[in-house]
Structure 1
Amino acid sequence: MTTSGSTLLQPDKDWWRGAVIYQIYPRSFQDTNGDGIGDLRGITERLSHVASLGVDAIWISPFFTSPMRDFGYDVSDYQDVDPIFGVLSDFDALIEEAHRLDIRVMIDLVLSHTSDRHPWFAESRSRRTNPKADWYVWADSRPDGTPPNNWLSIFGGSAWQWDPTRLQYYMHNFLTSQPDLNLHNPEVQDALLSVARFWLQRGVDGFRLDTINFYFHDKELRDNPALAPERRNAQTAPAVNPYNYQEHIYDKNQPENLEFLKRFRALMEEFPAIAAVGEVGDSQRGLEIAGEYTSGGDKMHMCYAFEFLAPEPLTPAFVADTQHALEKAAPEGWVCWAFSNHDVVRHISRWGTGVNDHEAHAKLLSSLLLSLRGSVCIYQGEELALPEAEIAYEDLRDPYGIQFWPDFKGRDGCRTPMVWESNDPTGGFSDGKPWLPVPPAHLERAVDVQAGDDASVLAHYRRFLAFRKEHVPLVKGEIEFQMAEGVILSFVRSHGNEKIFCAFNMSPVARMADIPSGTLEALEGHGFASVMHDDYIELPAWSGFFARFV
């Protein structure tokens, strides 16, 4: 076992502010035993690739013991590794190698719910009077036998499941096999904090907290009001899901969560340089909640909402409006931006309709993401500009997609295996049959194809991440927008006495952009070929420009 005190990294408590975090979906990163499923040893073997990007940390999606109904987000043992991923000593070896490479390790904690196979739930459902009877959210039916209220599950249907043993309903915000924990019970909070302490003592550097705003429910179990049709959107759930028809003011986002997050932060403060990022799943109040959860320096270090994970087109106005909304909602908070993750259509496809030069588009989007004020999450394969995979119905594994097919195809399309080698049908991912098929189009973008090509998307990620680290304003600075109209986005990042002007042409044709007042010195090393003239900048299609105020 390792401890956080043995890390080779310097204990910089502020390392997370402006950090770039690389998300690893372990099932699909690298398989070392031929079963077609990625594992912890595979992550360790491929960490050199992650280090070559120049990121600060990795976030590993759940690898805990689980029946895998929701592929690890249904935990049956928080303090062990599922056999498909390896054993605890494999995780210790991963930590050691990551720290040797100066990469911090964040793990994905799922604290709002467990698997129905968890021993806690088995005890809780056994009878109404036992030590864990109140560890989950149980409620009597209405007089007519129907669920206690109108709350809905994100995966479709009622958020309540009848249990014939207790003759009560239990709450599940997700699958029926994912019962919600009752965090109103202090014993449940203590147990979850013990889980976090277990992994902190093993040397993790932080956490990504799944569905952080789902931890508490309204004690009175009041019905959610209807949401006006004009306010519905598909950010929290796909448009075909009636979950979007309610305003979720009672089944999540409860004020009691703030005190629990303070307890969680106090635990992290016992260890050197620990940080946490919370996933805020709410399409109406996401930024507002992120502001609440990151304010005061005594709760979360950072949160991320779904604004840039939504299907809405990415325009200069949308980027500026989102950043302004964040500043209003969280004047003292911090956010972690992401364009892709394991739950949404990859952004290259989501925003790529009608784009002819996908590589130039990918480079532009990556540089924009890495220039915004906040920390950044990069999802595996994003650095290769992998498009969303088309998965046949018979190959689907995601219960979400199976439930709503074909109107919503689920999350399998963004979870296909990482491609390392172009001349291998599995992309060098496995010696066996991968758990999801590897699209032939992905093989053309494999790491070995792009690694030696200075014009590749992979090379651009490496180059721009290095460029970003050389200029502190791009990492930790404030942001002031200059232009966000039409297809041109420009802003100034400032930190101390240093100011960087950033301009982006978010269109497929060359454009001109205005130069702000002051004396500018064009910067190099970012990979774009824009040209600065006396009173304007010439921006090629899908390109950026960076200059220092002197």
Structure 2
Amino acid sequence: MSGKTISDNNGEWWRNSVIYQIYPRSFCDANGDGVGDLRGITQKLDYVQSLGVDAIWISPFFKSPMADFGYDVADYRDVDPIFGNLQDFDQLIEAAHTRDLKVIIDQILSHSSDQHPWFEESRSSRDNPKADWYVWADPKPDGSAPNNWMSNFGGSAWRWCTRRRQYYLTNFLKEQPDLNLHNPEVQEQLLADLKFWLDRGVDGFRLDAINHAFHNRSLQDNPARPLELDEKGLPPVNTYHYQWHIHDKSQPENLVFLQRVRELLDQYPGTMTVGEVGDDNTHKIMAEYTTGERLNMAYSFDLLTEESSADFLRNTLEKNREVIDQGWPCWSISNHDVPRSITRWNKGFDTEQALARAPLFLLMQLTLRGSVCLYQGEELGLPEADIAFEDLQDPYGINLWPEFKGRDGCRTPMPWVNHGEINAGFSKVKPWLPVPEEHHHKAVSVQEGDSHSMLNQFRTVIGWHKQLSPALATAAQEVVDTGNDLLVFFRRTEEEVYFVALNLGKNAASFTLPAEFTGAEDITPQLFGGARDGDKLELPVAGARVLHLKK
């Protein structure tokens, strides 16, 4: 193995990088108001550095009325007081860079808050200077919405404005009106706002719901989607899933705009973009968005579902390989929008098996072609929290309760110390969401001194990954159809080959190695069970083997 950091590949640090997502409300409360803040992040950067990650991605901290907890921006160039101020952000940047950590921040380019001054002006009349900065449309003759488009959070995507006597488009909450990026002035403003943060030293942007940035100006109805019944035999809870989203997102004009974004970032060497893409055909969109001079990489919701079988993963990886070509994926199995992976991906497994599978899935992500997003708390093995209805904060969950409980269960505060400290060390006052009882014994302070803890297993695997050959970053990927619970794939360059086998099933499994690998070096991290006897691999539940062969 090489001692060179894999992410140094030709100066493109983001290739095969590990990006640690920080949800600031829930990371660390430095000022004692129950909500995490920027100074809290700065205080914990030594911990983040100890994980061995390459960068942090900070979810929104901009000025906002917090209808969607920061994803409804009221000022793209300022910090909301609950998180601190611009000086706090500048100090965070400096502290991160001192520790060789890159800083990526969220940017929400498809919509703003309805309390943003732009929208206040836009809705005041039909002929003001910003009248066309948002998506407005006349009602049908009967007064109903312009078309059948649905909000991601359920119900119609159109909201009525009495002043303009028109509807405005809201792909998410009613408090999040969609910006009209067909208007060149809007594009110029958003690019200027990106430049503001680049000038402050950020190393990149995570572009939220970026394929929602443009709509089809014809406002055609979306076609109905045949209902795919779930295991209960009931239609979907959310009306958003009743149609194919052909006209309300993923429009061709977005490709041109992303080229403009890339042109801006090219003026700041070493910066990057990662886009969040949610669509009916995510692999195709990821390929389009990361090919050529557009985004550096993109991730989808394919691995944020409840399915985690070897067969599902094989199909997902193969679809991605078939279409993405020179584009670049970023693999994420958990974030602030979905239940935690240790709960979501381990249905039917006992607690011991579930805990063993967490580092296994990290190993999978790190050896796939692409980069990795690791969500805060995953390294502690935190399960999804069960939040009582009276404690819910997420409007998405409140609206669709009880069939859908929202996103609060994965957003609870980080547990830093065990029961010896109130609120597990997150805050000295009641936090915005409760710290679950079962999270206290998984606190950082508990796991630090245990060499076998989940935290130290994650450190081991990430550290192991950093020692692999830099050539792995761009190596071709080939998935083997084993037909069973083993996920097997190769990574090949002209000089070397890596072989990866992971047992995702509930029973031990075996695999016969190709002849070329009988003499390969076994470089598997020691924490993974399994053995090789000649051309035979024997893998227990959650076992893995990684072999390396130089040609």
Shorter-chain TM-score tier: over 0.9
Report deviation, 1:526.
4.7
Give me the whole-angstrom Cα distance separating, in 1, the residues matched to 2:298 and 2:255: 13
Q: Does 1:129 align with 2:127?
A: yes
Question: Paired residue for 1:367?
Answer: 363
- Indicate which of 399, 420, 426 corresponds to 2:395: 399
Q: Does 1:488 align with 2:486?
A: yes
Residue in 2 that maps onto 1:25? 23
Alignment map for 1:64-213 (pairs within 5 Å): 64-213=62-211
> What percent identity do the matched residue pairs reach?
54
Indicate which of 257, 261, 283 corresponds to 2:254: 257
Q: Is the 8 A contact 1:13 1:272 kept in 2?
A: no
Between 1:48-57 and 1:395-404, the stretch displaced more is 48-57
Specify the alignment match of 1:380 in structure 2.
376
Aligned in 2, Cα 1:273/1:242: closer, same or farther, shift over 3 Å?
Answer: same
Q: Deviations over 1:53-87 (max 9, x none)?
A: 11111100000000000000000000000000000
Distance in 1 between the 2:494 and 2:347 partners?
Answer: 40
Kindly indicate whether residue 328 of structure 2 is the aligned counterpart of residue 330 of structure 1: no
CA contact (8 A) 2:225 2:242 kept: yes
> Does the CA contact (< 8 Å) of 1:467 and 1:526 recur in 2?
no
Query: Which residue, out of 272, 276, 280, partners 1:275?
Result: 272
CA drift of 1:155 comes to 1.2
Give the residue type in structure 1 aligned to 2:396. Y
1:397: how far off? 0.1
Q: Distance in 1 between matches of 2:500 and 2:472?
A: 9
Q: Deviations over 1:228-263 (max 9, x none)?
A: 224x889xxx93101101111111111100100000
Partner deviation per Cα, 1:493-548 (whole Å, 9 max, x = no partner) = 22341211111111233222221221212115452232110120121221111111
Task: State the AA in 2 paired with 1:315.
Answer: S
Q: 5 Å matches for 1:292-331? A: 292-296=288-292, 298-312=293-307, 314-331=308-325
- Any idea what the Cα deviations from partners look like across 1:301-324, whole Å, max 9, x if unmatched? 001111100122x12221121111
Higher mean Cα deviation, 511-520 or 380-389?
Answer: 511-520
8 Å contact 2:19–2:56 — kept in the other structure? Answer: yes
Residue of structure 2 in register with 1:6 after alignment: none
Q: Give the distance between the partners of 1:16 and 1:364, measured in 2 at CA.
A: 22
Q: TM-score, normalised by structure 1?
A: 0.95
User: One-letter code of the match for 1:225?
Assistant: P
Partner amino acid, structure 1, of 2:310: P
Aligned partners of 1:30 and 1:12: how far apart in 2?
35
Alignment-mate amino acid for residue 379 of structure 1: Y
- Farther off after superposition, 207-216 or 452-461: 452-461
Q: Which residue of structure 1 lines up, in the alignment, with residue 531 of structure 2?
A: 531
Q: How many Å apart are 1:492 and its aligned residue? A: 1.4
Secondary structure in structure 2 of the residue aligned to 1:486: coil
Could you tell me how far 1:373 is from its partner in structure 2? 1.3
1:425 is displaced (CA, Å) by: 3.7
C-alpha distance in structure 1 between counterparts of 2:176 and 2:372, whole Å = 29
Q: TM-score, normalised by structure 2?
A: 0.95
Q: Is contact 2:530-2:539 (8 Å) kept?
A: yes
Deviation at 1:474, TM superposition (A): 4.8
| Residue range with higher mean Cα deviation, 531-540 or 24-33 | 531-540
Unaligned stretches of 5+ residues in structure 2:
1-6
**Pair 1:188–1:504, CA change in 2 (3 A):** same
Contiguous gaps of at least 5 residues in structure 1? 1-8
Equivalent position to 1:463, from 460, 463, 478: 460
SS in 1 for 2:515: coil
Separation of aligned partners in 1, 2:480 and 2:24:
41
